[in-house]
Amino acid sequence: METGLSHWSSREMAAFIARTESVAVSHHYVSKLWRDNGLTPHRQGTFTLSRDPEFAGKVADIVGLYLDPPGGAVVLSLDEKTQIQALDRTEPMLPIFFVVTEKRTHDYVRHGVTNLFAALNVGTGEVFGECKPIRDGADFLAFLKKAVKPHTGKDIHVVLDNLSTHTTPDVVAWLADNPQVRFHFTPIGSSWINQIETWFGVITRQSIRRGTFTSVKVLIAQIRDYIAHWNTNPKPFAWTATAEQILAKVRPAQPTSRNSSTATPNKHQDHATLVINGVSKSPGLLDSQSGLLDPRAAVDFNRGSNSARANCSSGLIERSD
């Protein structure tokens, strides 16, 4: 029987059973059955579908950097958080007071936007960030130069996405002149593997989302203050998922292939090389399949003593103290 419901509540199901089966059950009984069987129809999650033909190779390469970084090298996770709005409320906010929660008007005024360029030092947890009005290739290259400058004399591995501004002729030429800096591109549609995305979720939740900004200048000042505050006690996110664990979660959702292969990081070789069925290959030569991944089930982070589960697709972090 069609109901038109998108999902069940315990009360709706109890009433439906009574109406169609002539069996009187309470909604408490329905809820207990759901709990006993691990069913949560009132909740909904998300997943990421990557069609990158080099998905497995890129995952193994980047996870290898997180779990077994080259000795003495620096790993930077870099990206842009674009179009951050400076939103002001039409009335002053009512502050929190004992049993009274903070309140704000539902309507707002837009004062413009800014773009946050940020680089997370995966080893130390420190963040370097700058706000810019636009985000073209020249802005990216200028930021990149500043981000790597404190690490002069060291090998620097930069994890970033495939945005066109990251591969402009000027950027490519600069990389050729600075071979100590190496780019590691995330798989297409898989921003969850870039740790800076997790940090973007933190700053959004702790600073931007509930902020009131009378101008873009005020917004930028608050972002700078937050970064300075973060860096007074930086702690890295501890990546715990191995490439094998991630790919094991991916494979059940993939179509089967006679040429499917397994990619694993090789600790004794450069991170640009992987071992596939016992044969060393470059990630660019991988014949791997696209992946279907629930990032919340595959990636766990810890900051300090607090356990955190990261849903990097949405940029949210769930913590349990």
Are both 182 and 33 inside the same structural domain? no
Calculate mean pLDDT across residues 14-25.
Answer: 94
Total tally of structural domains belonging to the chain: 2
Residue 179 placed within a domain = yes
Work out the burial of residue 275: count CB atoms within 10 Å of its CB; fewer than 13 is exposed, 13-18 middle, 19 or more buried: middle
What is the pTM for the complete model shown? 0.70
Are both 142 and 34 inside the same structural domain? no
Are both 167 and 226 inside the same structural domain? yes
Q: Which domain holds residue 174?
A: 62-236
Residue 297 placed within a domain = no
Residues found in the chain:
321
Residue 171 placed within a domain = yes
Residue 114 has pLDDT above 80, yes or no: yes
Lowest mean pLDDT across 32-36, 169-173, 207-211: 207-211
Are both 160 and 12 inside the same structural domain? no
Are both 118 and 154 inside the same structural domain? yes
Which distant-in-sequence residues (6+ apart) come within 8 Å of 44 by Cβ?
Answer: 7
Are both 86 and 184 inside the same structural domain? yes
Residue with tokens 């766990």: 300
Q: Which helix (H) or strand (E) holds 145?
A: helix 137-148
Q: How far apart are CA 321 and CA 147, in angstroms?
A: 32
Calculate mean pLDDT across residues 21-43.
Answer: 95
> For the segment 7-16, what is each residue's pLDDT rounded down to a tens digit?
999 999 999 9
> For the segment 244-282, what is each residue's pLDDT rounded down to a tens digit?
998 888 766 554 443 444 444 434 333 333 333 333 333
Do residues 7 and 41 lie in contact, with contact meaning Cβ atoms separated by under 8 Å? yes
> For the segment 115-173, what is each residue's pLDDT rounded down to a tens digit?
999 999 999 999 999 999 999 999 999 999 999 999 999 999 999 999 999 999 999 99
Residue 25 placed within a domain = yes
Q: How far apart are CA 16 and CA 24, in angstroms?
A: 10
Q: Which two tokens stand for residue 130?
A: 């700058």
Calculate mean pLDDT across residues 60-80.
Answer: 95
CATH number for 183: 3.30.420.10
Query: Alpha helix (H) ranges present in 178-294?
Result: 195-203, 216-230, 243-250
Q: In what order do the strands lie in the sheet with 74-89?
A: 127-132, 108-121, 74-89, 156-160, 181-185
